[in-house]
Amino acid sequence: MKYSIAILLLVISNISFGQLKLEDLQIDTTITGFHLAADFQGTIVYTKNGPSDIQTQNPTAFAFTIMENLSAKKAKKQLYKLLSMSIKAGYTISDKIEKDTTLNGNVCYYLSYKETNLQYNYQNFVFNAFVIKDKTAVIFTSGDLDNRRYYDKFKKTFYSIKI
């Protein structure tokens, strides 16, 4: 996940942050029991143990970022960039599910999959999604390296978003 967090920061570095402010965003971050770990230039990261997990190689975590001037097509591209970077890094992708839907009347999309690397006994259950209101998007990324223990909680956290 540390790798995924770094990738996310790289992908969003050329996108300006939206008019929607963090304090305007309603998201129930208590569903997982996770703690605020870091704010990487507007990407808010939560992990099981908070800041101490940032130093670990692959913590189970979720993160969200607010982005401005993003169409659904461009937001999907951002999520697919994360997927393609995982493939290029040698991860095997399986159980891929993607869905266009709505969240509180707003355009919403999610992309979930399992990424594995048998050589390193690595298995990550990924749930990435976005919701857009008036061209402002909330991008949500998550990785569950605890055998799906938090996967459903990550989904519930995403679906708790109100913008």
In terms of residue numbers, what domain contains 28?
2-159
Give residue-wise pLDDT tens across range 110-141: 999 999 999 999 999 999 999 999 889 999 99
Give residue-wise pLDDT tens across range 42-74: 899 999 999 999 888 889 999 999 999 999 999
pLDDT at position 58, please? 87
DSSP 145: -
Cα(126)–Cα(32) distance, rounded to whole angstroms? 15
- CATH number for position 43: 3.40.1000.10
Which residues does 42 contact at the CB level (< 8 Å), separation at least 6? 17, 22, 65, 66
Check pLDDT > 60 for residue 75. yes
AA identity, residue 22: L
Contact of 115 with 91, CB cutoff 8 Å:
yes
Tokens representing 13 are 């570095």
Q: pLDDT-based confidence at 22, cuts 50/70/90?
A: low
Predicted TM-score (pTM) above 0.85: yes
pLDDT at position 19, please? 60
* Number of domains present in the structure of the chain: 1
Q: Please report where in the chains the tokens 């992908």 appear, as a residue.
A: 11
